[in-house]
Structure 1
Amino acid sequence: MQDIIAGFLRFQAEVFPSRKQLFKELATSQTPKALFISCSDSRMVPELVTQREPGDLFVIRNAGNIVPSFGPEPGGVSATVEFAVSALKVSDIVICGHSDCGAMKAIATCACLDTMPAVKNWLRYSDAARMINEAKPHADERSRVDGMVRENVIAQLNNLRTHPSVALALAQGKLNLHGWVYDIGSGSIEALDMETNAFVPLASHPSARKPDGA
């Protein structure tokens, strides 16, 4: 904890003064362009990976980068999605999985989660991805986990589309959805090609060649 406190004091004394104008502008409003949904894993830091400034991303982080499908009792994720789309008018939503994801590894390897009932129940929102991944052949455990990570991103995008605010914005052409997988060891990102349902290097993905606002 002392390291965290020391970090804040260093931010307050050294970083904040040099970025004072930015934080002054952010003090009364925010206009993020994208909602970024990622895992809570400490190795995945959305702002670092995307090199974004404070105020650029509206972020949801949870175990397994999960978005429950819309239901009669919406929770915090649903409320945050709705606020991002309806109030902040974000133009893009990214769901980003990552390599060596503990949540997806637990699902892929059928790990016993009896001592973590909340985690066990939460991961049921990945049941569709689990069933699809189990139906595919895998050379080894790593391949099975990697497959689960990717299928989960696809499944959560499908869950996201059930949210009324998202469905409306998509129908009006005001919102774009993106599925990414970040590899911790190499620093690379693969993006889902919605037409082929395959993950390709982000640098060669159509969205990487599409100018902003096009």
Structure 2
Amino acid sequence: MEKLFKGVLEFQREDFEGHRELFKELGRRQKPHTLFIGCADSRVVPNLITRTHPGELFTVRNIANIVPPYRVTDEFVATTSSVEYAVQVLNVDSILVCGHSNCGGCAAMNMSHDSLDHIPHVRKWLEVSKEVKGRVNRLMTGDSPEEREWLTEQVNILVQMKNLLTYPYVKEKYDRGELNIYGWYYIIETGEIYNFNDEKAAFELVS
């Protein structure tokens, strides 16, 4: 914790002072342009990889960057309510689903039910993306663990993009051209980011 306390002091002394006017402007309002849906993985830092300032990204992070399909419910739904707020209140013009390499959540999608007994809530959460495993099995060209890994991570991104369109207000704005939906695949060890091209149905390196 000492590292975190020192970080606070450095932030106040350096970063805050360097952006004092920006923080003053953001003090009573926010107007982010993008809803960033990413994995909770500690190696994925949205503002770092996009070089954005405070106030630009409305960020949702969870295990395996999952977007549950839309449903009317009285349950406590963190990701669903965040999508609702971003689109209906903040009026973001883009939604970005960002998956990444070496994703533990995606790896767990390919594990047996019993092997996840020690993390039952994670196992239940991953059921939202249960279709990913079937789609990956149909796409596999061999038995390579590496191929299964990157296929699972990329197919998972596509499933979440599809799930976003089950939200009536998202689909309405998307169909009217008022909202863009993007899918990114981030390679941690190289810093490369691949953007999904709808027309080519493929991830392309952002360059």
TM-score, structure 2 as length reference: 0.94
1:90-114 deviations in Å (ceiling 9; x for gaps)? 1111100000000001113447111
Deviation at 1:39, TM superposition (A): 0.3
Q: Corresponding residue for 2:59?
A: 59
Offset at residue 13 of structure 1 (A): 2.3
Matching residue within 124, 148, 160 for 1:121: 124
**Do the aligned partners of 1:69 and 1:163 also contact (CA within 8 Å) in 2?**
yes
CA distance in 1, matches of 2:177, 2:100: 28
CA distance in 2, matches of 1:142, 1:5: 39
Shift of residue 57, structure 1, vs aligned partner: 0.5
TM-score, normalised to structure 1, is: 0.91
Shift of residue 82, structure 1, vs aligned partner: 0.9
For structure 1, the 5+ residue unaligned runs are 204-214
Distance 1:110 1:143, change over 3 A: farther
Instruction: Give the residue type in structure 1 aligned to 2:138.
Output: A
Corresponding residue for residue 136 of structure 2:
133
State the identity as a percent: 37
In 1: Cα distance, 2:131 partner to 2:165 partner: 15
**Alpha-carbon displacement from aligned partner over 1:23-62 (angstroms, at most 9, x marks no partner):** 0000011111111110000000010000000001110000
The alpha carbon displacement at 1:76 in A equals 1.0
Aligned residue number for residue 170 of structure 2: 166
Structure 2 gap segments, 5+ residues each: none
> How many pairs are equivalent?
203
SS of the aligned residue for 2:65 comes to coil
Q: Aligned partners of 2:103 and 2:119: how far apart in 1?
A: 17
Cα-Cα RMSD: 1.3
Aligned: 1:77 with 2:76: no
Matches within 5 A, 1:191-202: 191-202=195-206
- Counterpart check, 1:90 vs 2:121: no
